[in-house]
């Protein structure tokens, strides 16, 4: 079944100039990239993204990490990969959560580390199941930023203050 999954290249991945290497590894899946952007991670976005981990002892440090506070690059690269078994294929190439336990040829095994403070710097995020993927994709992207019609969307009239080219 064709499905979509959210991938983030985390601040350590960007800081260590791993973007190209990671994209090359992900291209082994032969999946399509349906959306991509470089974006800042606000406290609100970080908290919402990791809300299921709010009771964990590492939660505060996790938020600081994803916001880029440990790296000079206060940004992440967010992407939607789409295709047959996209979630499983990306998770498999990403490797296990703990980068020290991840298969050494997986992305996390190759490039991740655990800091002396115990933060898992595992360079990428990947959704784990279709429900999580839908929640995360809707959190990180607007419907028009994605090239596929993944989920139902509606037209709304909204007057918002935004920046425009001067």
Q: Which residues would be at the binding site for ligand DAT (CB under 6 A)?
A: 53, 58, 62, 97, 118, 120, 122, 125, 128
Residue 125: alpha-carbon gap to chain centroid = 4
**Least distance between ligand DAT and beta carbon 152 (Å):** 26
Active-site residue, selected from the candidate residues 49, 52, 71, 125: 125
Q: Could you confirm whether 125 is annotated as catalytic?
A: yes
**Least distance between ligand DAT and beta carbon 122 (Å):** 5
**Least distance between ligand DAT and beta carbon 46 (Å):** 11
**Least distance between ligand DAT and beta carbon 104 (Å):** 17
Looking at the Cβ atoms of 56 and 153, the one nearer to ligand DAT is 56
Tokens (6 digits) for 22: 């990671």
Query: Exposed/middle/buried for 13, CB within 10 Å: 0-12, 13-18, 19+?
Result: buried
Contact status, residue 113 vs residue 59, Cβ threshold 8 Å: no
Q: Which of 160, 16, 150 minimizes the C-alpha distance to 87? A: 150
Looking at the Cβ atoms of 65 and 141, the one nearer to ligand DAT is 65
Looking at the Cβ atoms of 103 and 143, the one nearer to ligand DAT is 103
Q: Distance (Å, rounded) from C-alpha 4 to C-alpha 32? A: 9
Q: Give the torsion sign (CA, 98, 103, 104, 106).
A: negative
Tokens (6 digits) for 39: 């974006």
Looking at the Cβ atoms of 31 and 62, the one nearer to ligand DAT is 62
The residues annotated as belonging to the active site are 125
């Amino acid at each position: 079944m064709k499905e979509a999954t959210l991938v983030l290249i985390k601040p350590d991945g960007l800081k260590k100039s791993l973007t190209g290497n990671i994209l090359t590894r992900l291209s082994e899946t032969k999946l399509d990239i349906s959306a991509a952007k470089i974006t800042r991670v606000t406290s609100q976005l970080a908290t919402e993204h990791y809300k299921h981990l709010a009771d964990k002892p590492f939660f505060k440090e996790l938020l600081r990490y994803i916001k880029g506070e440990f790296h000079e690059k206060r940004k992440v690269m967010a992407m939607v990969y789409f295709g047959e078994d996209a979630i499983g294929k990306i998770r498999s190439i990403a490797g296990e959560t703990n980068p020290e336990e991840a298969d050494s040829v997986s992305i996390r095994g190759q490039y991740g580390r655990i800091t002396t403070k115990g933060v898992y710097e595992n360079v990428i995020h990947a959704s784990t199941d279709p429900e999580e993927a839908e929640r995360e994709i809707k959190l990180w992207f607007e419907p028009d930023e994605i090239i596929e019609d993944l989920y139902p969307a509606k037209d709304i009239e909204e007057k918002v203050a935004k920046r425009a080219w001067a």
